[in-house]
Amino acid sequence: MPIILQNILITVFAFIWGIDTVGFQVVNVLTPLVVGAITGNWTEAITISGTFTLMGLGAVSIGGASVPNYGLAGLIGSYIAIRSGSGLNTAIAIGIPVGLLAIQLDILVKTLMNFVASHAEHLADKKEFTKMNRFLYIGPVLYGLAIAIPVGIVAFLGTAVVKSILSVIPTWFMNGLSIAGAMLPVVGIAILMHYMPLNRYMNYLIIGFVAAAYLKLPVLAVSLLGAAFAFKVFLDSKKASTANNVASQASAKDQGDDYDE
């Protein structure tokens, strides 16, 4: 397959993958298969992509947080490493800078999405729903471009361009993106808490906060505590439901007996 066609295919796949990151999130699983199909080296693609997956197991974007995109790093790293005939070390050297660049693009896209959502809400207030639906397509396109642009740059122009871009971005701009990136998780957590039934489960939230902030427990330990509490709540609700059913049946039986009399 010609190199130019490979570059086009990997960039198009990156665009689709970027859209899927805010959807069902199933395309990421297909990354080694697609890279292997494009380059013709399935074994290397699966090995390198799997390595980047292990690197990113603890880096999860929760509540709007922007983290290094190891999925993107695995995509472009495995593609360039296979195409150039090099190995895993080259894939890491290429993929990590691209993943870091993707952080800035991710923050920028999330910032722009505020304006998209605001204008869509304005169109909804005016009952211009057709225009609103068309305007909302900007969102998936922005997320697709956030992945496709760095992949296209590396695929067509080489890895040195990515490092050059990171080095010439003004400090004030990078600081602004860093501040925005630090605020996004707070906003995301606040939104999640707004819809959570905290009146009933505030005690579990406090326990989790103390475990993470004061006891310095790792994420896995806090997650296991949350799973244990969730299981307890499930058992309590199941027990309460069973008790209510028994009480309802007893009440219905009593009413039936009274009716018979």
Residues 6 or more apart in contact with residue 132 via CB below 8 angstroms: 120, 123, 124
Between 124 and 1, the more confident residue is: 124
Q: Label residue 25 left, alpha or beta by phi (over 0 means left) and psi (-120 to 50 means alpha).
A: left
Question: CA nearest 12: which of 75, 83, 96, 97?
Answer: 75
pLDDT band at 227 (very low <50, low <70, confident <90, very high): very high
For the record, the structure tokens of 117 come out as 């959502």
DSSP designation for 60: -
56-109 tens-digit pLDDT: 665 555 555 566 677 888 888 888 888 777 667 667 777 777 777 777 788 888
- CB distance 49 to 175 below 8 Å: no
5-60 tens-digit pLDDT: 888 999 999 899 888 877 777 777 788 888 888 888 888 888 888 777 776 665 55
194-205 tens-digit pLDDT: 777 888 888 888
Identify the pLDDT of residue 84: 73
The burial of 260, by beta-carbon neighbours within 10 Å (0-12 exposed, 13-18 middle, 19 or more buried), is given as: exposed
The continuous run of DSSP H or E covering 2 comes out as none
Identify the pLDDT of residue 231: 92
Number of residues that make up the chain = 261
Residue in this structure with the two tokens 């397509």, named with its chain if needed: 137
pLDDT band at 236 (very low <50, low <70, confident <90, very high): confident
Identify the pLDDT of residue 46: 84
DSSP designation for 127: T
- 3-class SS of residue 78: helix
Residues 6 or more apart in contact with residue 109 via CB below 8 angstroms: 142, 143, 145, 146
pLDDT band at 229 (very low <50, low <70, confident <90, very high): very high
Q: Does 208 have pLDDT greater than 80?
A: yes
Q: In the chain, pLDDT over 90 holds for what percent of residues?
A: 14
Q: Which range, of 101-110, 152-161, 204-213, 220-229, averages the lowest pLDDT? A: 152-161
Sign of CA dihedral 49, 86, 73, 157: negative
Average pLDDT, rounded, for the chain: 79
Burial call 197-206: b when 16+ CB within 10 Å, e when fewer: eeeeeeebee
Mean pLDDT value of segment 162-166: 62
Query: Is the whole-model pTM more than 0.75?
Result: no
Q: How many CB atoms lie within 10 A of CB 174?
A: 12
- Per-domain boundaries in the chain: 3-195, 196-261
Q: Does 128 have pLDDT greater than 80?
A: yes
| Distance spanning both ends of the chain, measured CA to CA | 88
Q: How many CB atoms lie within 10 A of CB 111?
A: 15
